[in-house]
Copies of this chain bind each other. A is one copy, B any other.
Amino acid sequence: MTTTPRRPTRQQAAVAELLERCNDFTSAQTVHARLREAGEGVGLATVYRALQAMVEAGTVDVLRTDEGEAVYRACSTHHHHHLVCRACGRTVEVEGPAVEAWTDRIAAEHGFSDVTHTLEIFGTCGDCAP
C-alpha cells in the first residue's frame, strides 16, 4: 500500500505551518479561521483535505472530542498517546511499552489479529488545578 504523494502547494504549507505553531489539538474549523485572520485565506474544503492527507502521511495525529469533533495536532512520528488537560487543552505526549504489550496480549487471548488501539488520558493540569 504505497501512499500516493501529493503535489505541494501554498495552501498545504500554510495548514502544516499553522498546525506546527499550535501546540494543542485544533479543529479544522479553527485552523480555517486562524488562517483567514492571518490573511492567508485557504478554503475550508482545502483545509480538510490537507489535514486528512497529513493524517494519512502520519505527520499529524487526529482524535475525536467527546462531542465528536475531529481535532488535529502535529506530532512526533513514533507511537504514543496523549495526556490532555480538560481545562486549558495543554497536551503531553506519553508512551508506555507495558500498555502496548497488554493490549496485544489481551487481543491475542481472545483470538483477535491485526490489532490497533486508542488511548487518551484526561485530567486537570497543575496550572489549572483549584
Copies in the complex: 2
Task: Answer whether A124 and B96 are a contact pair too, CB < 8 Å, given A68-B64, A117-B119.
Answer: no
Q: A122, B113: Cβ atoms under 8 Å? A: no
Shortest CB-to-CB span from A4 to chain B, Å, is: 20
**How many chain A residues touch B (Cβ–Cβ < 8 Å)?**
34
Interface residues of A in 40-92 (CB under 8 A from B): 64, 66, 68-70, 83, 85, 92
Top-3 shortest CB links A-B: A112-B123, A111-B126, A115-B123
Chain A interface (Cβ < 8 Å from any Cβ of B): 64, 66, 68-70, 83, 85, 92, 94, 96, 98-99, 102-103, 106-107, 110-126, 129
